[in-house]
Structure 1
Amino acid sequence: MDMLIFKLEKNSKKPLYEQLYMGMKDAIITKQIEVGTKLPSKRKLADFLNISQTTVEIAYGQLLAEGYIASKPRIGFFVEEIDELPFVENKQAKIKVETVLKGTEPYQYNFHPGKIDTESFPFAIWRKYAKDLFDFPSKEYLQVGEPQGEYELRLEIANYLYQSRGIICNPEQIVIGSGTEHLLPMILRLIETNSKIALENPGYSAIPRIHLTNKAVPIAVDEDGLVVDELENTDANIVYITPSHQFPTGAVLSAARRTHLLNWAAKAANRYIIEDDYDSEFRYIGKPIPALQGMDQNEKVIYLSTFTKSLMPSLRVAYFVLPPALLKSYQEIFSYYSATVPRFDQHILANFMKDGHFSKHLNRMRKIYRKKHDRLTNTLTSFYPTTSITGDHAGMHILISVPLDKSENDLKQIANKSGIAVYPVSDYLLRPIEYEQPTFLLGFGGVALDDVEPAIHKLMNCWGIKRSHKKGKSHEL
C-alpha cells in the first residue's frame, strides 16, 4: 500500500500509539485502506512517520486485538473485513432528553407524598455507626451474606414489630430486600405463579406494573377501607391491602371488614393477604391502628413494610414477614437468591436500631410531621373552607378536593407552571372513578414547616381560589 499520512501531534497529551491506532482504525472503517491490504512493516512505518517501532507495535497490537487487522506469520499484517454499521444522520438531534441539574429541585414547592423531611435526619449519629463499621476490620462483610438478610437486622426488626405493631414473629420469618418492587414479585411467585391478585382502587401506583399483567383485579375503597363484599365476588385468591392507612385515601379498614377479610382468606388453602403497613408509624388522631397480621389465626397474612418514610427512601430497605407455613417453600424456591441490600448498610441500620436511635428518631419525626400536618390542614380550613380535606388522620399526605370546573390534568399543569408540584388522585387509579371534584394528594413531608402556608396560598392563588377573610390561626402553630 502507499504510505498513508497520519497526523501525529507529538506535543499532545494523547500518546502517539493511541493517535496512530485511531488514525488507522478510522482509515479502515472508511475504506481508505481496503480489505486485504498488507500494512507496512513496523520498521518501515516507524521510519516513515519518524516514530519508534514500539509505538507502531502497540498500535498494531490494539488493531489486532479488536479484529481490524490479522497477522500472518512471517508475512505481515492484513486489513480484515468489517461489517458496516447502520448510519443515522445527526444522531444527537434524534435524541431529545429533558435534563435537570443534579441536586436541584425543579419546583419551588413539591407536594410529592413520598418525600421526607431531610433537614431532620440524624446525620451525625448515622455517620458514627458507618464510621465504626469501616474503622474496625469487618472482613466478613465483604462476602455474600445470608439470603434472607443479616440476622442482626432481622432480629431488630422482629423486636420493633413486637413493640410497635403487636406482631409476634422470629427473625427466621423475615426476608429483607431492596424495596417493595423487589419483594412483591417474590411473594407472588412463592404463593402461586398463576394467582390473580386483588388491588385497592385507588391504590399504590407502582403495584399494577410489577409482573401483574392480566392478573390485577381492582377492588373499590370507601371510608371503611377495601370493600370486602366486592372481593368475595371475584376469582382473586390474593389481596394486596394497606389496612392501617389506605394509600392514597387514608381510610382505615374497619374492624368488621378486618374480620370479614380474614374469614375470606381462611376459606381456601391458596388464599393470602399481603398487608402493606404503609405509613403506620405516623398517626395524629387516636392510637396506632393494630396490624392485621396480629389478628391472623390461620397464617394467611404476609406482612410487608419498609424504612422509606421512617428513615429515608434512598436506604432501599424493605422486608416481609412470612407465615411459618410458607417458610419451607421460600427456602426451596429462593435458596440460590442473595440479599439485595448491602451488608454494611444492613449492619449500620441494625446497630442504629439496637441502641435505640431508631425509636428516638421516629418519636422526633412524629412531632415534626404532626406540626406540618396541623399547619397544612389549619391553613386550608381557615382560609379555603370550600376545599374539602380527607385522609388527614395519619400518614404524610392528605387528599384535597377543590370546587373547580377544570380537569385534574389542567390544574396540575397550572400548578407546575407556578413552580408547584401536585399529584392528582387519578394517577393512582387502576380502574376509572368519577370524582365529584378534582382531587389531589398533598404530601407535606418534604415541605419545610414555614413553607407550608405560603405554598398553599400560592397554589390556591394560581388556581383562582379566593382566600377567605376569616382570621386564620395557622401562623400560631
Structure 2
Amino acid sequence: MDMLLFQLEKDGEKPLYDQLYSGIKEAIITKKISVGEKLPSKRKLADFLNISQTTIEIAYAQLLAEGYIMSKARVGYFVEEIDELPYIQQDTVASLSELPKKKTFKIDFNPASIDIHAFPFQTWRKYAKELFDDASKELLLTGEPQGELSLRTEIANYLYQSRGVVCSPEQIVVGSGTEQLLPMILRLFSDDTYFALENPGYPAVHRMFSQHKRKVYPITVDEEGIFIHELEKTSADVVYITPSHQFPTGAVLSATRRAQALNWAAQSTSRYIIEDDYDSEFRYTGKPIPALHALDRNDKVIYMSTFTKSLMPSLRVAYFVLPPKLLATYNDVFNYYSSTVPRFDQHIVANFMRDGHFAKHLNRMRKIYRKKHDKLTSILENYSKQIKITGEQAGMHILLEVQHELSEKHLQQLASNADIGIYPLSDYRLDHAAASQPQFLLGFGGIPVHEIEHSIEKLMGCWDIKKHQSPPR
C-alpha cells in the first residue's frame, strides 16, 4: 500500500490521532484494507496527510494494542486477521443512552418493596463464609436437578409446620423465581389445555401465559376471592389463584369458595389448581389460614411459593410442589433440567432454615410489618370520608379506593408530580378497565415506619383530600 487517504478535520473536536485511528480501524473491519497488507510508514503518512509523526505513532499504537495491526521490527506495520465482531456504532450508543429509565420516587408505595434495614446480614455472612471454603469444593460441581436435597428437605419441613402442606422433598422443584417455574408448570399440560386466571392479577403471570400461547379465561375477583361459579362456566382445566392474599386486591379466599375450588378440581382427572402462596407469612387479623394444598385430599393442587418477600427479592429462589401424578410427567418432560439456583445459595438458605434463623427472621419481620400495617391503617382512618381500604388482613400492601372526581391516571400523575409512586388497580386488570372509583395498591413494606405518616399526608395533600377529626371512642 502506497498511502492512506482520510478526511481529517483539523479544527474538529475529536483529536487527529483519534480520527486517524477510527478511519484505519473502519477500513480494516470493512476489508477496504486487506489482511497482511503493509501500512505506510509513519514518516510517509505524516508527510502525505500533513500532520505530525507523533499523531501517526499514537494512532498506530492504539491499533496495535487492540490487535488490528501487527509490528515487524525494522519492517513496518501489517494488518492482522481478526474475527468478525459486532461493532457498536456511535449512533447506536447514543440511542441506547436515550432509552427511558425506570422512574424512581422519593416516596414509593411499591407493593413489591420489602424492609431492607432489618435483614440479618451478620448471620447470613456467617453461613456464606462457612460455605466458601475448601471443605465445600464439591459445591463447584453440578448439583441435584430439582435442587439440593438439604434445601428441599427444609422447605418440606417448613411447609408442614407453617402451612399444613404435607409433601416429600422428592415432590419439590427449586428454581430461580416464578418467571422460570411457572412456564415449567405450563409445559406439564398439553397445548390445547385451557387455563383460568384471576382478574385483576399479576401482569407478569398473564404475560407468561400469553407468551406461551395459552388460552386464558379471566375470572372476576371480589372480597371473597375468585368467583368459582364463573370458573365453572368456562372450559378451563387449570386455574391459577392466590388464595391466601389475592394479588392485587388483598382478598382472602373464603372457606366456601375454597371448598368450591377443590370440588371443581375433583370433578375431572385433567383439572388442577396452581396455588401461588407468595406472601402467606404475613397475616395481621385472626389465626393463620392453612394453604389450599393442606385441604386437598385428591392431589389436585400444585403449590408455589418464593423467598422473595420472606428473605429478599434478589435471592431468586422459588419452588413448587407437584402432586405425584404430575411428578411422573415432570420427570419425563424435564429429564434434562438442572436447577438454575447456585448451589452455594441453596445451601446458605438450607443451613439458615435448619438452625432456626429463618423462623426467627420471620417472627421479627411479622412484628415490623404489623407495626407498619397498623400505623398505615390508623393514619388512613383520618381520611375515611373520601377513602376506603380493603385487603388489610395480610401481606405487605392494601387496596385504597378513593372517592374523587379525577380518574386513576390523573391521580397517579398528580402523585408522580409530587415524587410519589402509586400503582392503579387498572394496571393489574387483564382488560385494563378502570373501576367506577379510582383504586390503588398501597405497599408499605419498603417505607420506614417513622415516615409513613408524612408519606400518607403528602399523598393526600397532592390529591387535595382533607383530614377529618375522628369522633372520640
Instruction: Give how far 1:86 is off.
Output: 12
Instruction: Give how far 1:135 is off.
Output: 3.4
Q: Which position in structure 1 is the counterpart of 2:235?
A: 235
Instruction: Give how far 1:329 is off.
Output: 1.3
More displaced, 214-223 or 298-307? 214-223
One-letter amino acid matched to 2:250: G
Closer, same or farther in 2 for the Cα pair 1:321/1:92, shift >3 Å? closer
1:193 aligns with 2:191: yes
Q: Which position in structure 2 is the counterpart of 1:175?
A: 173
Instruction: Give how far 1:138 is off.
Output: 1.2
1:371 aligns with 2:371: yes
For residues 168-210 of structure 1, the C-alpha deviation after alignment (integer angstroms, 9 at most, x for no partner) is: 1110000001111110010010132332210000111211100
Q: State the alpha-carbon separation in 1 of the partners of residues 188 and 169 from structure 2.
A: 19
Q: Which position in structure 2 is the counterpart of 1:465?
A: 465
Q: Which position in structure 1 is the counterpart of 2:14?
A: none
Closer, same or farther in 2 for the Cα pair 1:405/1:383, shift >3 Å? closer
Instruction: Give how far 1:87 is off.
Output: 11
**TM-score of the pair, normalised by structure 2:** 0.84
Instruction: Give how far 1:263 is off.
Output: 1.4
Q: Which position in structure 1 is the counterpart of 2:262?
A: 262
Partner SS for 1:442:
strand
Instruction: Give how far 1:436 is off.
Output: 2.8
One-letter amino acid matched to 1:368: I
1:127 aligns with 2:125: yes
One-letter amino acid matched to 1:158: A
Q: State the alpha-carbon separation in 1 of the partners of residues 36 and 171 from structure 2.
A: 69
Q: Which position in structure 1 is the counterpart of 2:216?
A: 216
Closer, same or farther in 2 for the Cα pair 1:209/1:472, shift >3 Å? farther
**TM-score of the pair, normalised by structure 1:** 0.84
Instruction: Give how far 1:147 is off.
Output: 1.1
Work out whether residues 426 and 434 of structure 2, in 8 Å CA contact, stay in contact via their aligned partners in 1. Answer: no
Q: State the alpha-carbon separation in 1 of the partners of residues 34 and 455 from structure 2.
A: 71
Q: Which position in structure 1 is the counterpart of 2:276?
A: 276
Equivalence map 1:140-179=2 (5 Å):
140-179=138-177
Work out whether residues 423 and 441 of structure 1, in 8 Å CA contact, stay in contact via their aligned partners in 2. Answer: yes
* Identical counterparts, % of pairs: 57
Query: Could you tell me which of 96, 99, 120 is aligned with 1:97?
Result: 99
Closer, same or farther in 2 for the Cα pair 1:63/1:190, shift >3 Å? same
Work out whether residues 415 and 422 of structure 2, in 8 Å CA contact, stay in contact via their aligned partners in 1. Answer: yes
**RMSD, matched Cα:** 3.5
Q: State the alpha-carbon separation in 1 of the partners of residues 35 and 434 from structure 2.
A: 73
Partner SS for 2:153:
helix
One-letter amino acid matched to 1:133: L
Closer, same or farther in 2 for the Cα pair 1:88/1:363, shift >3 Å? closer
Instruction: Give how far 1:233 is off.
Output: 0.6
One-letter amino acid matched to 1:97: L
Instruction: Give how far 1:128 is off.
Output: 0.8
Work out whether residues 38 and 79 of structure 2, in 8 Å CA contact, stay in contact via their aligned partners in 1. Answer: no
Q: State the alpha-carbon separation in 2 of the partners of residues 226 and 325 from structure 1.
A: 26
Instruction: Give how far 1:111 is off.
Output: 0.5
For residues 192-240 of structure 1, the C-alpha deviation after alignment (integer angstroms, 9 at most, x for no partner) is: 2332210000111211100434511100111211101100110111100
Equivalence map 1:24-423=2 (5 Å):
24-28=24-28, 39-40=37-38, 45=41, 59=64, 62-63=67-68, 90-91=91-92, 94-95=95-96, 96-99=98-101, 106-212=104-210, 213=213, 215-423=215-423
* Runs (5+) with no aligned partner, structure 1: 7-17, 66-75
Partner SS for 1:120:
coil
Work out whether residues 150 and 350 of structure 2, in 8 Å CA contact, stay in contact via their aligned partners in 1. Answer: yes
One-letter amino acid matched to 1:216: V
Closer, same or farther in 2 for the Cα pair 1:460/1:348, shift >3 Å? same
Closer, same or farther in 2 for the Cα pair 1:22/1:414, shift >3 Å? closer
